[in-house]
Amino acid sequence: GTGSNILSALQDLFWLLKSKAEKQLQIISVLQWVLTFLIMGIACTLILMYILCTDCWVIAALYLAWLVFDWNTPKKGGRRSQWVRNWAIWRYFRDYFPIRLVKTHNLLTTRNYIFGYHPHGIMGLGAFCNFSTEATGVSQKFPGIRPYLATLAGNFRMPILRDYLMSGGICPVNRDSIDYILSKNGSGNAIIIVVGGAAESLNCTPGRNSVTLKNRKGFVKLALRHGADLVPVYSFGENEVYKQVIFEDGSWGRWVQKKFQKHIGFAPCIFHGRGLFSSNTWGLLPYSKPITTVVGEPITIPKIDNPSQKDVDFYHSIYVDSLIKLFDKYKSKFGLPETEVLEVN
């Protein structure tokens, strides 16, 4: 009996230690991604400039030569790596929240797609985990579909960061890149565009389901020009992982944010999550709140080389209605009351 009790106690201790170790690995995986998002581009640029001033300048010079040669690769679908997309660190990243991908309909490999991802949140954590890694099984759930998460083109001017982003299947959110993927890269491509962008990030806060979409029609025009089907995607919980100071329209804070958004492409947000060692302190780590990304039904889009504004408006209205229906259908399943309404701005 004593031996059995000792064995049971050792097993309990083993599982306790394993659980704590996994939690620490989850925290480390999320921290490295947050730091990558915030400072990797600037840090790599400064390090490269420093190396140019040292005895190791040849290394930096060779990389810069490669950078010039490889400059247009991001515009041509990038250079994804299945090895990087399958890193174990992304599974720890997924389990920290946790993040889940829900498929509602099959996607034909003979078609191309533009996914509209909503909402942006502070950092688009669900968009990254679901479509730039294999942590939630996107390739198994949508076999034959190659996802490309579109992000700011300026990120691809940053040394090292550009290569890291491309390895995950991330591409610039500009016309050249999207045109290439949808017209010169065969079929079965899915470009994920966070439609609300920086403007939407300014309004994200826990408890609020709001999207910036009414005047965002460029993605619909692109879909029409290439005959790419539109797919609404809503990520429940994306706005819950950070708390943000919201500046009202007309305030000096909102004026500064909009100026940054206009001239630089992103809006500086004042936000916080939890601390590194305690969830009761402030820090850069997001709160561990569930994020569930639901991929809706594709909307069949005809190919029109020069779509009129009437065409764009028509399919945009269909897309908005589909997104609202998707939200209403799944909101109660993921913790929202039946009375919750999606705010479309």
pLDDT at 15: 61
pLDDT at 11: 59
Q: Which tens digits make up the pLDDT trace of 312-338?
A: 999 999 999 999 999 999 999 998 999
Instruction: Round to the nearest angstrom and report the end-to-end CA distance of the chain.
Output: 67
pLDDT at 321: 97
Q: Which tens digits make up the pLDDT trace of 123-149?
A: 999 999 999 999 999 999 999 999 999
**How far, CA to CA in Å, does 85 sit from each of 91, 144, 147?**
10, 16, 11
pLDDT at 1: 58
pLDDT at 90: 97
From start to end of 152-203, where are the E strands? 170-172, 189-194
pLDDT at 280: 84
Element (H, E) at 252: helix 252-264
Residues of the chain whose pLDDT is less than 50?
none
Other beta carbons within 10 angstroms of residue 244's beta carbon come to 18
pLDDT at 17: 64
- Report the alpha-carbon distance of residue 258 to residue 261 in Å, rounded: 5
pLDDT at 7: 61
Residue 213 neighbours by CB under 8 Å, 6+ apart: 118, 195, 196, 320, 323, 344, 345
Q: Is the peptide bond prior to 147 cis by the omega test (within 30 degrees of 0)?
A: no
pLDDT at 259: 78
